Amino acid sequence: MIAQVAFDLPLEGPFDYLIPEPLASRVAVGCRVRVSFGFRPKTGFVVGLLAQSALPKLKPVLAVEDSGNFNDLDLQFARSFSAYYGCSLGETLAATLRNKQEAGPSVRREGSPRFVLCRCSPADYAARIRAVREGYKKGRFLILVPDAFRGRMLSSAVDGEVKMGTRSLVFETDGRYDCVIMVDEEDASYKQEQSPMYETRQVLLQRAAIYGFDVAFVGITPSVELMALVREGKIQELEAARVDVPTVRLVDLSNYKFIPGLVSPPVREALENALKAGQKGLLILNRKGSYRLTRCVDCAEILKCERCDSPLYFSRAEGKYLCRHCPFTAPGDTVCPKCQNQSWRSQGIGVEQVQAELKKIFPTARIAAFERETKSSARRQEVDARADILIATQAALRFQGQWQAGVAAFIDFDSQLNRLDMSAGFKAFSLTLHIGGMAQTVFIQTRNINHHVLQCLARADMGGFYDEELKLRQELGFSPFKHWVKISWRGPSEKSTHQAACHVYNELAKAAPQVCLITEPAAEAVARKRGQFRFQVMVQADEVPPAVAFIKSAIARVKRTSGVITTINVDP
């Protein structure tokens, strides 16, 4: 007999191994075996058995490490996941078994799975989850939450047969659970940024279809992809509690061209009134440090990280320049690497710059700044609790449930809208409503006041927002109507990394089906990160699995370039 073995490696497989007679009764689909792979022993997963192999000479199975840890249901999911995300069968099985090793082979729940959406307001998470649970007289639940979600907000909803965790727990889900509840499924932390680069919502739907458990999505702003499924009738929206949309006031900065400062007069007045009433203020700016970049006055050289193709930003608090992508720092008295002078001029705005301005406007107020990299969590929360005004990046959402302000304001909302990201509009919309859960009124400073996102926020028109987003995405060929698959290459040499991308692109171009649109190799937005040069090719297609199969076949036909790593990212 022949064992087909898959490995936790980016290799297609499976690989055939001869089963010695003494082990014949112990080797079965679902067990792990020890074999010789290359010149080293390695553990693999038995995913099939054959009477004979097409290969004339095979290595033997050396040992059986355990009995069945997975079954046909698990294999069905692994093959589905592998076809969708471009990873190997062994990588999928390894990711699955890391989270359910003690549970053993999966089971299927009887009946057809039910998919529902429960929209809620920021203060109503626990109530909506309890409402979902009340639909089951008795059962086991698993709750998936974003990385930064404050578990104490769900304390009243988590008891009995309930388990809660972040995205990796999605691989534990099977028919042992009656219902899996996913909180804020649109949150960016649900996207795995290392291979295999999966989207938790998609994986959860795949697993539910195979293992038969129900799924409930609970949140304030469902993703555009999820709302498309709701409108297609594939997900049922339950009669939801009224979603409280905050009062949003737009501040047209073109009316204040000649008034200096980063904080507009309407926002200053609102903050002043809030402080007089004993309320707090919250200002949002997604720019860390004091300035966005620093340029040499003499030669116009931009001060950049030595390991990344990214400008350094200056932190007044730390007195040095910092990189946004790696731990690299440069002292405050750094000389220009091009002309050796020290005539720097900083540009752009940052959290610390806003903090300095507010200290002049409100000299007696306690003003704190919060950024994701703040070192001491305990000290951070002590300062934030005493502050009258908090200035933060979107990491302020970490304080949801414990920080309440009378007024919140976005200092530079346009930077949220103008990102090179098909989801920029949705992310800005979602962030506003989540921040709105921390304030009574939200001010938005903008020079793009007619943008549909801003107009829908001002009218509290959630339905209109989704209508417009779906229309735009269909016109532009974005998800959920079409899918983009990003092929990335990274390596220490710019030339060899670019050549590797070109070789694969040429293979893709030769055999491109009519349903695919392929972009030429180009440097990524950050062309070098942590010493690695990065290039990409984008493929647009109607369906993901055929596009991924097409891409993988092209990559397989190209000789691998030493030191260059290739990855596939679906709907990045």
- Residue pLDDT, tens place only, 153-202: 666 666 667 888 899 999 999 999 999 999 999 999 999 988 889 999 99
Long-range contacts of 231-234 (CB under 8 A, 24+ apart): 231/470, 234/115
Contacts of 420 (CB under 8 A, 6+ apart): 525
Contacts of 340 (CB under 8 A, 6+ apart): none
Contacts of 551 (CB under 8 A, 6+ apart): 86, 485, 487, 508, 539, 568
pLDDT of residue 376: 38
pLDDT of residue 381: 46
> Averaged over 39-56, what is the pLDDT?
94
Alpha carbon dihedral 195, 201, 204, 208, in 10-degree steps, equals -150
Tell me the H-state helices in 279-376.
351-361
382 — pLDDT class (breaks 50, 70, 90): very low
For the cut 90, the answer to whether the pLDDT of residue 448 exceeds it is: yes
CB 529 within 8 A of CB 326: yes
Of 61, 68, 149, 73, nearest in space to 107 by CA: 73
Of the two residues 10 and 502, the one the predictor is more confident about is: 502
The mean pLDDT of the chain is: 89
Give CA separation, 292 vs 85, 285, 295, 453, 542, in Å.
35, 12, 10, 25, 39
> Averaged over 496-523, what is the pLDDT?
92
pLDDT of residue 153: 60
pLDDT of residue 244: 74
**Which tokens sit at 279?**
């309320």
pLDDT of residue 258: 85
Q: Is the bond preceding 122 in cis, omega lying within 30 degrees of 0?
A: no
Please list the residues that pair with 180 across neighbouring strands: 142, 215
Rounded Cα distance, 105 and 374, in Å: 43
**Which tokens sit at 393?**
């990046």
> Averaged over 434-457, what is the pLDDT?
94
pLDDT of residue 240: 57
Cα 543–chain centre separation = 21
CB 27 within 8 A of CB 64: yes
Rounded Cα distance, 295 and 301, in Å: 6
377 — pLDDT class (breaks 50, 70, 90): very low
For the cut 70, the answer to whether the pLDDT of residue 373 exceeds it is: no
pLDDT of residue 514: 74
pLDDT of residue 421: 85
Q: What is the pTM (predicted TM-score) of this model?
A: 0.91
For the cut 50, the answer to whether the pLDDT of residue 380 exceeds it is: no
The domains found in the chain, sorted by start residue, are: 2-100 (3.40.1440.60), 115-237 (3.40.50.300), 247-287+349-476 (3.40.50.300), 483-570 (3.30.70.600)
Please list the residues that pair with 539 across neighbouring strands: 485, 518
290 — pLDDT class (breaks 50, 70, 90): low
For the stretch 106-141, pLDDT in tens is: 999 998 999 999 998 888 888 888 888 888 877 899
Instruction: Name the strand (E) or helix (H) holding 390.
Output: strand 389-392
Of the two residues 383 and 178, the one the predictor is more confident about is: 178
Instruction: Count CB neighbours of 101 within 10 A.
Output: 11
For the stretch 461-472, pLDDT in tens is: 999 999 999 999
**Which tokens sit at 8?**
């936790």
Classify the phi-psi angles of 477: left when phi > 0, otherwise alpha if psi is within -120 to 50, otherwise beta.
Answer: left
For the stretch 201-224, pLDDT in tens is: 999 999 999 999 999 999 999 999
pLDDT of residue 238: 86
150 — pLDDT class (breaks 50, 70, 90): low
For the cut 50, the answer to whether the pLDDT of residue 374 exceeds it is: no
Q: Which amino acid is at 258?
A: F
For the cut 60, the answer to whether the pLDDT of residue 146 exceeds it is: yes
pLDDT of residue 375: 40
398-419 per-residue burial string, b: 16 or more CB within 10 A, e: under 16: bbbbebebbbbbbbbbbbbbee
pLDDT above 90: percentage of residues in the chain: 64
pLDDT of residue 384: 60
> Averaged over 478-492, what is the pLDDT?
96
